[in-house]
Structures are given as C-alpha cells and as structure tokens.
A = this chain, B = another copy of it.
C-alpha cells in the first residue's frame, strides 16, 4: 500500500521549498501536477532541476481555466468530472506505491489539490506537506513587514463583487489580494474608494526570475492572474 503525498512547493524559488518537500520530490517515482492544456505548468517548472528523470509523470491538464465563467453550470460539471477522474487515477497508483502531488504555495491555502483531497479522504492514506505561501514570498519581496502588533490581516480574492471588495479593503489593517488578472480595474476602483490606492503594492512573479514589485498605481492594465497585491499594516511598534 502506498500513499498520496501532497507537497507544497512554496512561492516559486526552488530554494524556498522545505527540506522535506525537496527530499520527497527527489525520491518520488510517481509525480502528478496540475497545468493548463499544452503547458508544462508552474509547479512542474519549480521542480525542474530536482525531479528524477526516471519518475513517471502525470500531467493533470485542467479542462477549462478562464474560457467559461465560474457561474456557468458547465464549468462546475467539467471541473467536478476532472477531479473525480484524477482522484480515481491517483488512488489506483497509491494502491501499490507512493505518489507525490506537486502544489504551488501551501496546499491547504486556496490550492487545487484540495479538490482531490476531498475525493480521496478515507480511501487512501494522505500526507500534506505545508509550504511557504505565495503571499509570504510577495510581501517579503516588498522589503516591508505585512503585519505588526495587533494588526488584522484580511486575504481577499479580486474575483469578489466590487462593493464587497471595497468594504473588505476599507475594514482591515493589512491586506492581501489574490486572483487579480482581469480584475485589476475593479481592484483599482475598490482600493481608491477605500482610500488605500496609494499604499497598495503589486507583485508579479514573486521570488522568481522576472519578479516585479511596484506600486499598484504604476502598474499597467494587464497583469498575470497570479499577481498579488498587498497593503502593509501600520500597527503598534515600540
């Protein structure tokens, strides 16, 4: 009997993988990872110099990413079938031997693996290795602490409705915004309405080659989906 080991790879720099993740990926004989159709995928790229050339690779290609709106029932149907299919395949491998599933950042923090986890739980043994979140990588790259003293930190997705986004931004000390991409104009308006546009930073490709850290007001109109915006807390400090 094997087990399913989901390994958090951290924010992107391979040296920011944990010692355990590094060890598990190097030793893995079966490795699965999510990616867009026809792409290698970000998780697989992170382990490029580490993964064994003998490993059997399972490239789990999303059937859809942003082509269909999230509220279209077809989106849900296609994704549910995709996760059911891959959890069955992974469970089959795990009947005989260990299989490592790669996951960017921290697996239990907005990660795709959770959808496999929900379907595998109770059927196979599962181990989760936490990772450094993408947001930690991004706020570190700004060179300033994200939270001090009793600061409240709010993490929101830019996919939220504009009024809700604005309310959340206005009602926190420190802020992290994820899933930005085409939601950037909406995020900009929400930040402006809350009086925080000038304090906001935008980080693209945090901790990776081509990392870009800039004030959000200076960003162009188009940013990658995996960009992260932060507003630093200003709490108590002796």
Task: Mark A residues whose CB is within 8 Å of B.
Answer: 8, 10-11, 13-20, 22-23, 70, 75-77, 79-80, 83, 106-111, 114-115, 117-118, 128-133, 136-137, 139-140, 143-157, 159-160, 168, 171-172, 179, 207, 236-238
Cα distance A111–B235 in the bound complex, in angstroms: 13
Decide: B139 and A108 in contact? CB cutoff 8 A: yes
What are some 7 contacts across the A-B interface (CB < 8 A)?
Answer: A16-B20, A18-B19, A108-B145, A110-B151, A131-B132, A150-B160, A152-B160
**Copies of the protein in its oligomer:** 2
Decide: A76 and B238 in contact? CB cutoff 8 A: yes
> 3 nearest interchain CB pairs?
A79-B238, A15-B20, A153-B155
Cα distance A136–B22 in the bound complex, in angstroms: 18
Min CB distance A193 to B, Å, is 18
Knowing A115-B238, A238-B76 are in contact, say whether A132-B153 is a contact too (CB < 8 A).
no
Set B70, B111, B132, B156: member contacting A106, Cβ < 8 A: B132
